[in-house]
Chains A and B, each alone.
Chain A
Amino acid sequence: MMNNFLVMPMVAPLVTGIILIFLRSNVLLQRILAMISIVLTAGAGVYILNRIQLDGILRLDFGGWMPPYGILFVADSFATLLVLTSTVVTGIVLLYSFASTARAEEKMFYYPFIFFLLAGVNGSFLTGDIFNLFVCFEVMLLSSYALITLGGRKVQLVESIKYISINVLSSWFFLLAIAYLYGTVGTLNMAHLSVRVAEVGQGPLLTVISLIFLIVFSLKAGLLLYFWLPGSYSAPPTAVAALFGALLTKVGIYAMFRVFTLIFYHEPGVTHTLIAIMAILTMVGGSIGALAFQDIRQIVSYNVIISVGFILIGLVVSTDSAFQGAVYYLIHDMISKALLFLLAGTMIYLTGKSKIAEMSGLIRNYPLIGWLFFITMLAIAGIPPLSGFIGKVLIGQGAIEAKAYVLLGVGFISSIFVLYSLLRIFLNSFWGETIISEDEERPLKRGMAIPVLLLGILTVVLGFGPELLAPYVSDAANTLANPDVYIEAVMNGKD
């Protein structure tokens, strides 16, 4: 019965979103309720995470239907860590949007949509049923459709048509894969799927189905099929773009990890090799994109793409330390990408320009933003003792253990491109001659500075104290490396 708590990370944002719809005109009340709800959801995440360490993987069977019948939520350390991180990041982005969002948009259901998005994201992490995963994806996507168009500028409308069309297509592929999978093995529960696939053997037919899943999740995560991403992520307002950059691609990565470690792990020669090739091409393409553009938002969006390729090295080599590294890096990436998008948006807000050549000497006007950008740059490039370091080391260690030297090389060279692309922003925009005089300097709102500072502190804390997370991360990696742990907990675990 205590397991009913598992549904909180999805239901709390959902209920909050519904309540906020009715408080449309009262923006202050909306903000207060939003923050209370985030704190509660994050608290639920912490509680579940600690329960898992005591009692093992938790599950909640909706309506009392025992697995494999019925829909269920399964919370392992991997899913719950991501739930907790996305809730915290959403909270901080909400703080930022208090200062940055126009009053008119706040009244047009901005906060409810953010909460529906969070509900979809958390639901995707927690669900143990592959059709339910599709539904949670759609909850998340529909809210993102509304958020990307909110404001209705011409760029947003045109970009969102592309964004929605590509996502409708990928949802179609998702349904296609689910239909074939159901037709082949006759179940939708992920643990049961794993058992059935192991029983009948992953023949060519099932491998093809797994490749359809790969297409779907690559489209969501921006693995090789990322051509829609830079445009869509640079159209919406800063806070929304930060949320997209931090959360949406990570859900696709999570789904890929789940499906290819739990269900389709029998034919790594086909599936994992393909993922490796896609990851390499993603990192190369992302690096080229990050260097090619002058627009800060584009550069930042391409940085998201590079990190997607890098995290998937962890999935390809599939050793215990690589999984640990991937989990660390996922958490780091959520925080640092939100931070990077917020910093880029703040720079654009302060100067009114978006090209790096049009800004100069900002560090004299806004030292806080300048130094935070510097720290973020080092964190994303993976320089110790900041948060990207531990993930990169562990993924690299896993790649050496698995003798995947090409992946290792491309991964670490891509870090240099990341560093260079961000250094280019830093040198052009923060250094150099100050072109904004003190009179015409636009004041940095405190409401914008505080959330950015909070995220900056988080990356430093995560960098100095990975031991805080170590027990959770090693448990998460253990579940990823041994699918039997997950299956045992779902199929035979006590209620």
Chain B
Amino acid sequence: METLITLLVGVLVTIAVYLLLSKNMIRVILGTAILSHAIHLLILTMGGLKKGGVPLIQGESGSYTDALPQALILTAIVISFAVTAFLLVLAYRTYKETGSDNLDALRGVNDE
């Protein structure tokens, strides 16, 4: 199961890198979103998938699944949510100011 998820992470990262390298701003933002999903899955896998019972002290068995990765992911999701929201607003604002969402066309504003 861990191997499968790791492969899935690889596929997601591939897609994200493809999107990040494109010139369209929205695609880049989608790329960062997919990239963060991939890393969340990876953190989950690194902690080990379902190795024991529910991590409650009253639980029946002696072995529990590690709950820490889920806490980490929850934090990371909130952060990536905030950053993605900010990026989307920024892209919209930039589009309104410059009239373009093509990253190539935005080069050289410094020289105006």
Binding site for B on A (CB under 8 A): 131, 134-135, 138, 142, 145-146, 149, 152, 154-155, 157-158, 160-161, 164-165, 168-169, 171-172, 175-176, 178-180, 182-183, 188, 231
Contact = CB atoms under 8 A, between A and B. Distances in A.
Instruction: Give chain B's interface residue range (CB within 8 Å of chain A).
Output: 20 to 34
Contacts of A154: 97-98, 109, 112
A142 B83 contact: yes
Interface string B84-110: 001100110110011000010010011
Nearest to A298: B110
Contacts of B106: 158, 161
A145 B82 CA distance: 11
Contact of B90 (A142, A164, A178): A164
A164 B93 CA distance: 15
A161 B91 contact: yes
A160 B103 CA distance: 12
Contact of A176 (B28, B42, B68): B42
A180 B46 contact: yes
Query: Residue among A160, A188, A231 with the most chain B CB within 10 A?
Result: A160
Nearest to A139: B79
Contacts, number: 88
A193 to B, nearest CB: 14
Interface in B27-65: 28, 32, 35-36, 39, 42-43, 45-47
Nearest to B2: A183
B96 to A, nearest CB: 9
B90 A161 contact: yes
Contacts of B35: 168-169, 172
A11 B4 CA distance: 42
Given A158-B109, A161-B91, A165-B32, A145 B86 contact: yes
A134 to B, nearest CB: 8
Contacts of A171: 79, 83
A164 B87 contact: yes
Q: Which 10 A-B pairs have the closest CB atoms?
A: A183-B46, A179-B43, A157-B94, A175-B39, A179-B46, A138-B79, A168-B32, A158-B109, A179-B42, A158-B106
Contact of B79 (A135, A158, A178, A180): A135
B76 interface: yes
B39 A179 contact: yes
A178 to B, nearest CB: 7
A146 B35 CA distance: 22
Contact of B109 (A155, A172, A175): A155
A164 B109 contact: no
Contacts of A188: 68
A154 B103 CA distance: 13
20 contacts: A131-B75, A138-B83, A142-B79, A142-B82, A149-B93, A154-B109, A155-B110, A157-B90, A158-B98, A161-B25, A161-B106, A164-B83, A164-B87, A168-B32, A168-B36, A169-B35, A175-B36, A176-B42, A182-B47, A183-B45
Contacts of B83: 138, 142, 145, 164, 168, 171
Contacts of A178: 43, 72
B36 A172 contact: yes
Contacts of A161: 25, 87, 90-91, 94, 103, 106
B9 to A, nearest CB: 10
Contacts of B87: 161, 164, 168
Given A152-B97, A178-B43, A142 B86 contact: yes
A126 to B, nearest CB: 18
B75 A135 contact: yes
A60 B25 CA distance: 43
A342 B42 CA distance: 43
A180 B46 CA distance: 7
B98 A131 contact: no
Contacts of A158: 94, 98, 106, 109
A377 B72 CA distance: 45
Contact of B86 (A131, A164, A176): A164
Contact of B93 (A138, A152, A175, A183): A152
B79 A160 contact: no
Contacts of A160: 90
Nearest to B98: A154
Given A142-B86, A172-B35, A157 B93 contact: yes
Given A152-B97, A161-B103, A164-B87, 13 more contacts: A142-B86, A145-B90, A154-B109, A155-B110, A157-B90, A158-B94, A164-B86, A164-B90, A172-B35, A175-B43, A179-B43, A182-B43, A183-B47
B8 to A, nearest CB: 14
A138 B76 CA distance: 10
B33 to A, nearest CB: 10
